[in-house]
Structure 1
Amino acid sequence: MNPINGAKALLHRLGFAMRESGQALERVGCRLQGIYSFEEKLSRHASVLPMRYNVPSLAKSSWVAPSGMVAGSVTLGENSSVWYGAIVRGDFQPVTVGANSNIQDAAYVGATSEFSPPVVIGDNVSIGHGAVLKGCTIGDNVLVGINAVISENVEVQAGAVVAAGAYVEEGAVVPSGEMWAGNPAKKLRNVKAGEAEYLKMLPGRYTELAGEHKGVMKVLKLKQAEYYV
């Protein structure tokens, strides 16, 4: 065996053993705490994970909720946020999220396989609660509604709306300024002027709200440090 490869393999095994030991100690500690283990103030869930030698690239002003997850080749732009229970996976293909965009609670963003196209999400985009985006391109100032599904090779152009619960079939193009709904999704109508303004305003509200949540997390970290002194 090549000495370099041998050293890498040894380090990998050592790291694996250390992680397993840590998890074992965690389980023992919980048993010793008994019914009081629930008093932990912060989740130990790992929000940002390397995957296949790729480490997420997050802007300093972005935010990932404690129970959210960003893994692998993921780029998160300025003031963008990944909310509670949301998953952004860049294991098969890269995921790029622009500035001032939000991926709301329990949404999923990623590729289905290594043959899927990358996911590209523009600026000022709101991805609703429970939505699923797979190998698609989302333009700027777009709203993807609650529980909507965007399939592979779909392009949602700037200023469009995908209504709640819609299923956009593979390869479809949602033109700029249109609202699509249904299963399979089709054009419902044009986006109204007031709605277009709302699309531009909504991401800013999530940016402000993410700042509040970040502040709460900092306070909890300080309290946790006091708790264990």
Structure 2
Amino acid sequence: MNPINGVKALLHRVGFAVRESGQALERVGCRLQGIYSFEEKLSRHTPVLPMRYEVPSLAKSSWVAPSGLVSGNVTLGENSSVWYGAIVRGDFQPVTVGANSNIQDAAYVGAASEFSPPVVIGDNVSVGHGAVLKGCTIGDNVLVGINAVVSENVEIQPGAVIAAGAYVEEGTVVPSGEVWAGNPAKKLRDVKPGEVEHLKTLPGRYTELAGEHKGIMKVLKMKQQEYYS
């Protein structure tokens, strides 16, 4: 064997042994910490999907969870987030989400058909877990509670609150500074001064939390790519 090729072969084997030893030590360390990310396969799910010749437009600071879905004519503003299992579909009509807004886990946002109006969500909006928004307009600093349903042609004005489990009928206008609840939803009371501050600070918490999840996902993806390369 050519001496140079022999040295190359030896270096290759030594390098392979070092890499395997390092990965083995990392797996042991992860097990001791209760972290099993090294066993996870790279997700085949595509969180951002073109649809009907329309490609979603996402701000660089926005975040879509690996199991979330943003498809079609969707615009996602700065620092906004779409969480695990949430779906934002712009296949029938455009969906516009402003800055610092969050679409929480398992929520659905989109138009019901091609005859529906577009969905417009303002800045600093929190859409709770499992909520459904169809063909509606949501103003700034609004909270849509868990499992609430907002129907087509509904306008929720800035600073309003839709309570958890509420059903807002088609064509309803929810004035600023009011809390609506029930099925069908009716005015429950005015928003309290302390709640006004909560509406302004809640989106910021999700923006911060999304940054943490985004960073973790980035590290895990780099580790997985390295592990399977």
Instruction: Bin the TM-score by the shorter chain.
Output: 0.7 to 0.9
Distance in 1, Cα, partners of 2:68 & 2:130: 13
Alpha-carbon offset, residue 41 of structure 1: 3.9
> 5+ unaligned residues in a row in structure 2: which ranges?
1-37
1:176-225 Cα deviation digits (max 9, x unpaired): 00000000000000000000100000000000000000000111111111
Aligned residue for 1:74, secondary structure, equals: strand
Aligned to 2:200: 200
The answer for the alignment partner of 2:213 in structure 1 is 213
Q: What percent of counterpart residues are identical?
A: 88
- How far apart in 2 are the matches of 1:160 and 1:215? 32
Which whole-Å CA distance do the structure 1 matches of 2:210 and 2:82 have between them?
A: 9
| Displacement after TM superposition at 1:42 (Å) | 3.5
Are 1:147 and 2:131 an aligned pair? no
Determine the C-alpha separation between the residues in 2 that align with 1:215 and 1:39: 19
SS at match of 1:205: helix
Unaligned runs of 5+ in 1: 1-37
1:77 and 2:77 correspond = yes
Aligned-partner SS, 2:187: strand
| Equivalent residues in 2 for 1:34-183, closer than 5 Å | 39-183=39-183
**How many residue pairs align between the two structures?**
192
Comparing 219-228 with 39-48, greater Cα deviation is found at 39-48
SS of match in other structure, 2:88:
strand
- Cα deviation for residue 128 of structure 1 reads 0.1
- Which residue is equivalent to 1:226? 226
Contact kept? 1:42, 1:220, Cα under 8 Å: no
**CA offset at residue 51 of structure 1?**
0.3
> Does the CA-based 8 Å contact 1:41-1:220 persist in structure 2?
no
TM-score with structure 2 setting the length: 0.83
Contact 1:167 1:185 survives alignment (8 Å): yes
Root-mean-square deviation (CA), in Å?
A: 1.0
Opposite residue 49 of structure 1, the aligned amino acid is L
